[in-house]
Amino acid sequence: MFKGLGDIASMMKQAKEMQGRMAEMQEKLTQLRIKGSAGGGMVIIETNGKQDVLGCSIDQTLLDGGDKEMLEDLVVSAMNDAVNKSRMAAAEAMQDAAGGLNLPGMGDALSQLGLGPNGG
């Protein structure tokens, strides 16, 4: 009569375990430092794994050159590099957090991020 209760209990246990892993992952992402660069390292943007911008470094020769448009392009490029690396780090952390748990839809979600059996 209550045959499905074991499945529900197992799912609840997995959900609670996943909740703990997600909290750990969020803390790790906050501590992570990721650098994106452009112009051969002349512009460097630093973010954490949650995509918060932590810093920006611009080589003095770019400032002395006075080419505002080039500097703007390099800052945008470095920022995009940092954000893309941060997204990948977050996706990898998500994959690690979900490791071993058989959660419906998790494989598809990770595949969309470029991870998992079909993506990475």
Residue 15 domain flag: no
Residue 34 belongs to domain with CATH number: 3.30.1310.10
Count structural domains, the chain: 1
43-78 pLDDT, tens digit each: 999 999 889 999 999 999 999 998 999 999 999 999
* Residue 86 near residue 26, CB atoms below 8 Å: no
Contact present, 41 and 2 (Cβ < 8 Å) = no
Say what the pLDDT of residue 19 is: 80
Q: Which tokens sit at 74?
A: 């390099």
Per-residue pLDDT, 74: 97
Phi, psi of 48 (to 5 degrees): -105, 180
Coil vs helix vs strand at 51: coil
**Is residue 39 one of the residues assigned to a domain?**
yes
Question: Which residues in the chain come in under a pLDDT of 50?
Answer: 115-120
- Measured in residues, the chain has a length of 120
Provide the domain limits for residue 74: 29-99+107-112
User: pTM of the predicted model, to two decimals?
Assistant: 0.67
Q: Which long-range contacts (CB under 8 A, 24 or more apart) does 4-10 make?
A: none
Q: Is residue 52 part of a domain?
A: yes
